[in-house]
Structure 1
Amino acid sequence: MTLVDRVQSILLRPQITWLAIDEEPADAASIYKNYVMILALIPAVASFIGLSLVGIGAFGVSFRVPIVSGLANMIVGYVMSLLMVFVLALIIDAMAPTFDGARSQIGALKLSAYSSTAAFVGGIFSLLPSLSVIGALAALYGVYLLYTGLPVLMKCPRDKAVPYTAVVVICAIVGGFVIAWVLALLTPSPVRLGAVYGVPAMDAAGAVVAVQQRPGANT
């Protein structure tokens, strides 16, 4: 299955696709190389273009993040997005017994990676910073992807999927604030002071990313 086919299938037919993903042989290297590292480029590059090339406009004033700062922001955001996928996989795996699921490191990584699809793809809206809120809304679909995937990959009862999802999403939001803070340190003050700003980072195993893509997230 090609990358485009997998993206379409997980977004449009998640329940069927999770069953196929569960049966696929995979390891951490292949999941990252063939999927996460490619899709995570979308919000990272889009944010760089939107902030440093297109620019931000508000109240008759326009502003562009300097190229060097924009590149630093893009690189750090990209790396931290990759890290968040891994950290959330660890959380998903560790929490499985609490919700009567079965621990599986590779299953948790699959879940974290593929449920982040909506957040990564939604990052394309950061090409126009004023539309980054749409990307944040798209990222919320990742919560549903996570919810539908937990019973399949982590073998938890369906009635435990809701609280399981809630715990993972909370962890993702906390991680998102941390990443937003780190990225804010690299961004010139006009953006930190309230310009509309969308950045990649939080996949939240499906929640991922909404915190940083909404306006004023880096204040």
Structure 2
Amino acid sequence: MNIYQRAKNLLLAPAKEWQSIDEEDVNSSHVLTYLLVLALIPAVAGFIGMGFIGLNVFGIHSGSIGWGFRHAISSYLGIVGGAYISAFVIDFLADKFQATSSFNVAFKVVAYSYTPMCVAGVFYLIPSLSFLVPLAGLYGLYILYTGMKPMLKVPEDKMMGYFIVCLLSIIVVSMVVGAIFGAIFINSVYF
């Protein structure tokens, strides 16, 4: 399956695509490649948008090549690092909800659920539209939800509780990773 087709199928028919993913015998390096390629979309778009176009707020223009570069690195590492840490947490919690405990499977579920947010990263090209990227992340939560049952084999009675705990942990991981990379790259004066 090529990256474009996988992303398209996940965005348009996630439940059907999860069935296909569940039947595949793909190792995590293929999934990592998928995530690394998709994470380039918000990183490159952010570099162009923040580095060359910038924002014009209250008549003050912000944006520079350095700012765009820091945004790109922070975005890229945040997506990849956040996916790994979230997959670790989801795998750790699997036993408590009688789900399949496998880091590779948890990583597939998390990495593929990042698809809408990564694809919507194209909106970083126009910084005033960047608010749409987190909104696309909400659709990613739906993709996560539809993927948990077939991939992690969550019992029906445990599904909602496991999803809520996974959702909260992904939010916390995203906030912590974002704060760390933001402090390192975005707020860096000497970069």
**TM-score higher than 0.5:** yes
Tell me what 1:13 maps to: 13
SS of the equivalent of 1:40 reads helix
Cα distance, 1:183 vs. partner? Answer: 3.8
Cα distance, 1:94 vs. partner? Answer: 1.3
Gaps of 5+ in 2: none
Cα distance, 1:42 vs. partner? Answer: 0.7
Cα distance, 1:150 vs. partner? Answer: 0.7
Are residue 146 (structure 1) and residue 147 (structure 2) matched? no
Tell me what 1:181 maps to: 179
Gaps of 5+ in 1: 190-219
What stretches of structure 1 move > 3 A for 4+ residues in a row?
Answer: none
Are residue 42 (structure 1) and residue 41 (structure 2) matched? yes
Tell me what 1:53 maps to: 52
- Select which of 89, 110, 113 maps to 1:112: 110
Cα offsets for 1:43-87 (capped at 9, x unmatched): 1111111111111011122111x3134313312431232121111
Length, aligned pairs only? 187
Match of 2:167, as an amino acid?
V
The whole-number CA distance in structure 1 between the counterparts of 2:70 and 2:60 is 24
Q: Name the structure with the higher helix share.
A: 2
RMSD: 1.7
Match of 1:38, as an amino acid?
V
> Does the CA contact (< 8 Å) of 2:51 and 2:66 recur in 1?
no
The whole-number CA distance in structure 2 between the counterparts of 1:188 and 1:92 is 30
Cα distance, 1:184 vs. partner? Answer: 3.2
Instruction: Give TM-score scaled by structure 1 length.
Output: 0.79
Instruction: Give TM-score scaled by structure 2 length.
Output: 0.90
Aligned-residue sequence identity (percent) comes to 37
Tell me what 1:194 maps to: none
